[in-house]
Amino acid sequence: MNSLEENIRPTFGGHEKFVFRHGWLKKGVDAVKKEPLAFTRDEALAELGVGKNMVRSIRHWCLATGMLQEIGGVGLAKSLQPTELAQKLLFNKGWDPYLEDVGSLWLLHWQLATRLTRGYVWHLLFSIYLETEFTRPSLKKFIGNQLEQRGYSPTDGTIEREIEFCLRTYIPAKTKLGVISEETLDCPLAELDIVRSFDDGMYRFNVGPKVSLPLGIFGYALLMFFSRTVENRRTVAIDDVIYQPGSPGQVFKLDENTVVEYLESLEIFSNGLLRLQETAGLTQIYLTETLSSDFQGQALELLRRHYEQ
C-alpha cells in the first residue's frame, strides 16, 4: 500500500448511476452553505430541482471531488460543510463558480483521482495502472487484484459498475438510435480527452502534453502531492513527480518532457518557492523552507494566481 492509501477505507457506489453534470457541484455547495443537512431535508428535491436519486448523486460527487466535507452525524444524515477549496472556487464571488475555465475541470479531475475514499477506482486507474491501453476485462482483473491485495472484496458487479462510471466520467456517452436521456448526458470532464475509447472495445490513455492544462493547476497538484509525500526533505527527484503513484505526471498522464517544462515555468510562477537544481549531473526540485512549511497554503496561492490572471 503506497503512502497515499494509509488509513483509507474506500466506499463504492453513491453516484446512483449518474455522472456529475454541469452545475451540480455548485448546486450542492450552495445548498449546504445554507443548511448543513440540506440533502436530508424533504425540500431537497425541490430546492435542487432533481429527483431523489440525483439528490444522493449530487451529494456523492460533491464529497468525491472535495467540494464538501462531512463534519458530524451518521450515514446520509451527516452534517456537511463546503471545503476551503469549494468556498474559493464555487461561491458566488469565487474564482470560477460555473466551471467556465477548463483549468477547473483539470482541478476536479485531480481531486477525484487523489481523494481515495470515494474515488478509489479513479486512483487505481490513473495512479497505479501502468498500461497505456486496456479493455474493460483487463482493467477489471487489475482492479480486482489490487483490491484483494489491500483486503477489500467487493463483488464482480460492484467492480464492473465502478469501472463503468469511472470511464463514463471521461468518455462521451454513446446513445442508442440518437436518444438522449438523463443516463447519457456527459460529465464535464469528458472535455479533457484524457481517456479515449475505440470501437473494438479498447481504451487508451492520451499520454503527453495537455494544451488545456494551465500551469497554476499543475502547480497546485504538485504542491498537494508534496504535502502528502514529502517529509523533512528539501529536494525531490523529478522522476517522483512523473512516475510515483498520485503524482501529477501519472494523474494528468504527462510525459517526461512536459513535466520538466511545467517545472521550469513554475520557478517563475511560484516566485522561486521551488526551482530546479542540478547536482553531479542529476536535476532535482529544490523546495524552499517557506514552501515546505505550508504546501497546502502555497498550493491555494498558485490557484489564486491562475484565476486572477
Per-residue pLDDT, 47: 76
Q: Identify the H or E element spanning 27.
A: helix 24-34
Distance of CA 7 to the CA centre of its chain: 19
Q: What is the CATH number of the domain that holds 37?
A: 1.10.10.10
**CA distances (Å), origin 301, targets 29, 170, 292, 297:** 22, 28, 14, 6
- The string of pLDDT tens digits covering residues 63-82 is 999 999 998 766 667 899 99
**CA distances (Å), origin 219, targets 42, 54, 309:** 42, 33, 15
Q: Identify the H or E element spanning 277.
A: strand 274-279
Distance from C-alpha of 273 to C-alpha of 110, rounded to nearest angstrom: 22
In sequence order, the β-bridge partners of residue 72 are 79
Distance of CA 199 to the CA centre of its chain: 27
Contact criterion met (CB below 8 Å) for 94 and 307: no
Asked if residue 168 belongs to a domain, the reply is yes
Domain boundary among 98, 116, 147: 98
- The string of pLDDT tens digits covering residues 121-136 is 999 999 999 999 999 9
Per-residue pLDDT, 181: 42
Q: What is the CATH number of the domain that holds 184?
A: 1.10.10
Q: How many domains does the chain have?
A: 3
Asked if residue 68 belongs to a domain, the reply is yes
Domain boundary among 98, 118, 136: 98
Per-residue pLDDT, 175: 56
In sequence order, the β-bridge partners of residue 277 are 284
Per-residue pLDDT, 66: 96
Collect contacts of 268-272 with beta carbons under 8 A, ≥24 apart.
Answer: 269/215, 269/216, 269/219, 269/302, 269/305, 270/219, 270/298, 270/302
Q: 295 and 196 in one domain?
A: no
Could you say which residues of the chain have pLDDT below 50?
Answer: 177-181, 184
